[in-house]
Structure 1
Amino acid sequence: MVRFRKRKVVPFRTPGELDAMEAAGVIVGAALVACRQEAKPGVTTADLDEIAETVIREAGAVPSFKGYHGFPGSICSSVNEVVVHGIPSSKVVLATGDLVSVDCGAILDGWHGDSAWSFGIGPLSKLDEELNEATRMSLEAGIAAMIAEATVNDVSKAIEAGTRAAEKRFGRSFGIVEGYGGHGIGREMHMDPFVANEDNPGRGKELLAIGSTLAIEPMLTLGGPDTSILEDDWTVVTDDGTRASHWEHTVAVTEDGPRILTPRP
């Protein structure tokens, strides 16, 4: 007798639980909007951290990053060649032309929201603008793939397709950062499965179901895919010194299509 192994399904939530996750996600979105509004030349990333924490706590939520494995901030603030996990600091002063990623999480009633947004301090160079738009396009492509019966690798494949479409549009290549990607999310911030940002048919075989939730987060560079972690054990930088962009949303599969649980007001 042949036995077939049952396919793993990405954990799924009830409609009420998705509403609870979106309540946390709305707070995250509000914190990101507040950070972007105040991110001007002369402002430090420590200032942005204080702004985000204030928004989160005044909404009755808790910053999910603060204290996570010892991380000291309420946001990750990653500037220019820093890809992700930049530690907020009074020594990092924003300047015109900087490309800044703010990654933020909040816990409300035990549910997590997680989202990241990259933007310029004033006008960006043409190359940086294209990089940032390419990363946004990759995120949108991944979100669109969040449908029932798709696999996690279908989402990864779509993210890469979004990057390739951006390369065709802008006539240049972008580096897809190796070793980093999205993740499951719910009662914990980081859960299985890992969501790669490029196609690999040998992984990501888990199925999406109505109510499945993932944090989708493409990270692209103007150069190569290789990165290193600095001595603080957090900050991830591009090896070639080129700039990076990082976009993220928490997304659910629903009968009516993908639902963004971290909307920005």
Structure 2
Amino acid sequence: MSITIKDDAGVAAMRTACRLAAEVLDAITPHIQPGITTLDIDRLAAEHMAKQGTRSATVGYQPPGYPPYPAHLCTSVNHVICHGIPNDKVLKKGDIVNVDVTVITPEGWYGDTSRMFEIGEVSIAAKRLCALTYDAMWLGIEQVRPGARLGDVGHAIQKFAEGHNLSVVREFCGHGIGQRFHEEPQVLHYGKPGTGEELVPGMIFTVEPMINLGRRDIKEMPDGWTIVTRDRSLSAQWEHTVLVTPTGHEVLSLSAGSPPPPAFVQ
């Protein structure tokens, strides 16, 4: 599968799709408090998608070898790295949770983004992990410009994370996105500068590093979806969808409620 370069109409459609995905996160943010279940979060998101006129890309999603995914979004709590399935367990003070939303617009375009949420007062280690993972994502995004390479993005994330004694998950990566959920290229969150695919205007892909407090080793749970840290250390992830522009990049998955970029972002 080759990389699809979006024209002006495609870029406009992706701006809308990604903003709508971010607005789902905006809508559920006030509700993500101690005492809510991840199943409640899923229901609230589904209700907001219905209001928007979008639908979930994850519910029923079934890549080869996987069971159909049963929920409208992914909720990955504490040592869950990614693809956590919403359930009826209550979130309590001190938990951290990644909520990952992908919507499909009526025109068939996919918008994808995720955020970390701290439930009440969390430990210093958990707060630091969430903050450093956010910075790592933005450091990767800052590398995006025509003529740069995907290895530059991965290297910036890896160097920063490992420099803070954190580890980068290798088995999952960012991806191209458009009128399909997962397109080329694969966007690794580690790598060597100057290697990998060259970036050209019109490319759209996600940057979504998964960073662990402990070792990078993973384990798949029996449900066929949930991925956890093998050592049960905390894991965090943030995700934005990014467009390569003629002069640099544009983050498409921003909305009124998005956390502000770090101070180092130009």
Structure 1 residue aligned with 2:48: 55
Instruction: Give the aligned CA root-mean-square deviation in angstroms.
Output: 1.7
Structure 2 residue aligned with 1:96: 93
Structure 1 residue aligned with 2:18: 25
Any residues of structure 2 matched to 1:65-104 within 5 Å, and which?
65-69=58-62, 70-90=68-88, 92-104=89-101
Query: 214, 219, 232: which one pairs with 1:223?
Result: 214
Gaps of 5+ in 1: 1-7, 168-172
Query: 177, 183, 188: which one pairs with 1:185?
Result: 177
SS of the equivalent of 2:13 reads helix
The number of residues matched between the two structures is 250
Any residues of structure 2 matched to 1:230-241 within 5 Å, and which?
230-241=221-232
**Which portions of structure 1, spanning 4 or more consecutive aligned residues, are displaced by more than 6 angstroms?**
none
Hey, what's the Cα distance between the residues in 1 that align with 2:6 and 2:184?
Answer: 15
SS of the equivalent of 2:132 reads helix
Bigger mean CA deviation after superposition, 150-159 or 63-72 = 150-159
SS of the equivalent of 2:49 reads helix
SS of the equivalent of 1:183 reads strand
Bigger mean CA deviation after superposition, 75-84 or 255-264 = 255-264
Contact 1:28–1:104 (Cα < 8 Å) also in 2:
yes
Structure 2 residue aligned with 1:130: 128
Structure 1 residue aligned with 2:8: 15
- Shift in Å, 1:164: 4.2
Hey, what's the Cα distance between the residues in 2 that align with 1:10 and 1:141?
Answer: 23
- Shift in Å, 1:235: 0.5
Letter in 2 for 1:107: I
- Shift in Å, 1:178: 2.3
Q: TM-score, normalised by structure 2?
A: 0.89
- Shift in Å, 1:175: 1.5
Hey, what's the Cα distance between the residues in 2 that align with 1:175 and 1:163?
Answer: 6
- Percent identity reads 34
SS of the equivalent of 1:68 reads coil
SS of the equivalent of 1:101 reads strand
Structure 1 residue aligned with 2:116: 118
Structure 2 residue aligned with 1:243: 234
Structure 1 residue aligned with 2:190: 198
Letter in 2 for 1:102: V
Hey, what's the Cα distance between the residues in 1 that align with 2:159 and 2:255?
Answer: 25
Say whether 1:263 aligns with 2:265: no
Any residues of structure 2 matched to 1:103-182 within 5 Å, and which?
103-108=100-105, 109-164=107-162, 167=164, 173-182=165-174
SS of the equivalent of 2:155 reads helix
Gaps of 5+ in 2: 63-67, 257-266
Hey, what's the Cα distance between the residues in 1 that align with 2:8 and 2:142?
Answer: 20
- Shift in Å, 1:67: 0.8
SS of the equivalent of 2:17 reads helix
Deviations 1:48-104 (CA, angstroms, capped at 9, x unpaired): 0011111112111111111111101111001001110000112x2100110000001
Q: TM-score, normalised by structure 1?
A: 0.90
